[in-house]
Structure 1
Amino acid sequence: MSVIIELTLPSDAFELGRILRVEASTQLRLETLVPLGGRPTPFIRLKDDGRESFEGTVREHSSVQNIQLVSSHDDEMLYAFEWDPSEGSLFRKLLDMDVAVLGATGTTEAWELELRFPNHKTLSEFQEYYVDRGIQVTILRIYNPTKPDAGPWFGLTTPQRETLTQAVEAGYYSLPREVSTKELAAEFDISDQAVTERLRRGITTLVTNTLLTAETEP
């Protein structure tokens, strides 16, 4: 089962943090890390007041081949840059272990990362990696994305899953609404009230087994 970890670490403790070090008042946000041709391409968003410092710092690093302004809106800029993580670096390790970077924000002092590991064994391997290298990692939270006993479909019964799926595909949750509960009821040959109850219970089950789950481990 996959496991999600939220952690912080000093900006100067890992390669990407050193590349992206900017002025103290500027906060960076990693929008996504897209593997293109075997090479991870970070997309970074920052406020316009840190643009000059950011571009200068990134261009100077030897592992960065190119940096490009993708878009700008109001006072925010979105950049992409070609980057080849060094062998043995933290992000190279994460890529090799097939770890997904769900989110990352950073300042000149520290970064906070949200990572999804394929299993607990991989997480243990990563913990050994940063302990062996003396990287100061602070664990904020460790949890499974769903309850272990939720089963397939996040605990939904087959009728709940089929009804929720049909409701979404038919536009029940669209604005304006494209189908009524009566029309959904006709699809399943049940009453309007039964459809409403299936949707209510299904949504409750989904939220309970995903968003409200916060199982921690030592």
Structure 2
Amino acid sequence: MTITTEIVIRSSALPFVRLAKSVPSNQIECVHGLCHEGNSRVFMLYVDPDADISEPDLLAFDEVVAVDALGRASGKDVFQTTIQLDDVVSEAFAPERFTATQVERTVVTPDGWYEKKLFQNYNAFNGMRTRCEEYGISIELISITQNPRERDESSQYGLTERQQEALTLAISRGYYESPRQVSTEELAEEMGISQPSMSSLLRRGERQLLTSALGSQSQINTVSR
């Protein structure tokens, strides 16, 4: 089961955050191989022409080792940059720890990196978030969705779409961790429903999953005798 996440990664050690502060739009775009290629230190930068950024401007930033202007594409100036990553970033995103695929270009703002990433499953995402937090890099989860081609799993287990949504949110927010990272009240607020309704969705969804995994009620009763 693959999932797609929208996240904001925050750390003063992230490349190009200071650069984003200096451009009129307060944002630039980049493509990188962190979490994917062990020795990747090359970033492709996409900058609005109005920012009037040159190779010397980029080389003025401490993390930039080399720059090659590649021209213009999709209305943006494109630069291939070689980066000297901060040790914190390099260790936190070590690809042997987890893998994630960049779905769209990273949007770099003064607040951090906005990214869409594809993970193999929820554990892979939670592993990245835990790993980053160990190095002082915060991960804010904006959204998490199961990819459309996998949605037949909900009908396989007999879940309603709303039960699937509630359970997915609960898992992503750490509701089933010990200790719990979020309350049913907080989950209910995110889904725009009451706390009793959220509790009911989770309870019925959990029962459906258990029943599907263990068999029908009659089979369970037979085993318990």
Q: Please classify the TM superposition score into its range, dividing by the shorter chain length.
A: 0.5 to 0.7
Residues 1:70 and 2:22 are matched in the alignment: no
Q: Among residues 162, 166, 169, which one is paired with 1:217 in the alignment?
A: 169
CA contact (8 A) 2:129 2:138 kept: no
1:21 is paired with a residue whose SS is helix
AA of the residue aligned to 1:33: H
CA contact (8 A) 1:19 1:57 kept: no
AA of the residue aligned to 2:12: A
CA contact (8 A) 2:3 2:144 kept: yes
CA distance in 2, matches of 1:57, 1:15: 18
Number of the residue aligned with 2:145? 143
TM-superposition CA deviations, 1:106-138 (whole Å, max 9, x none): 223343111112332221211212333443432
Number of the residue aligned with 1:183? none
CA 1:217–1:102: 2 relative to 1, 3 Å: same
TM-score (norm 1): 0.56
Unaligned residue ranges in structure 2 (runs of 5+)? 154-163, 171-225
CA 1:133–1:70: 2 relative to 1, 3 Å: same
AA of the residue aligned to 2:101: A
Q: Superposed, which structure 2 residues align to 1:5-24 within 5 Å?
A: 5-10=5-10, 12-18=11-17, 20-24=19-23
TM-score (norm 2): 0.54
Number of the residue aligned with 1:87? 87
AA of the residue aligned to 1:119: N
TM-superposition CA deviations, 1:157-200 (whole Å, max 9, x none): xxxxxxxxxxxxxxxxxxxxxxxxxxxxxxxxxxxxxxxxxxxx
2:88 is paired with a residue whose SS is coil
AA of the residue aligned to 2:3: V
1:125 is paired with a residue whose SS is helix
Q: Superposed, which structure 2 residues align to 1:118-133 within 5 Å?
A: 118-133=120-135
Number of the residue aligned with 1:25? 24
Percent of aligned positions with the same letter in both sequences?
Answer: 10
CA contact (8 A) 2:23 2:51 kept: no
Return the offset for 1:79: 1.0
- How many residues align structurally? 155
Number of the residue aligned with 2:201? none
CA 1:3–1:72: 2 relative to 1, 3 Å: same
Q: Superposed, which structure 2 residues align to 1:29-44 within 5 Å?
A: 29-30=29-30, 32-33=31-32, 38-44=39-45
CA 1:109–1:131: 2 relative to 1, 3 Å: closer
CA contact (8 A) 1:17 1:111 kept: no
Number of the residue aligned with 1:105? 107
CA 1:84–1:95: 2 relative to 1, 3 Å: farther
CA contact (8 A) 2:13 2:86 kept: no
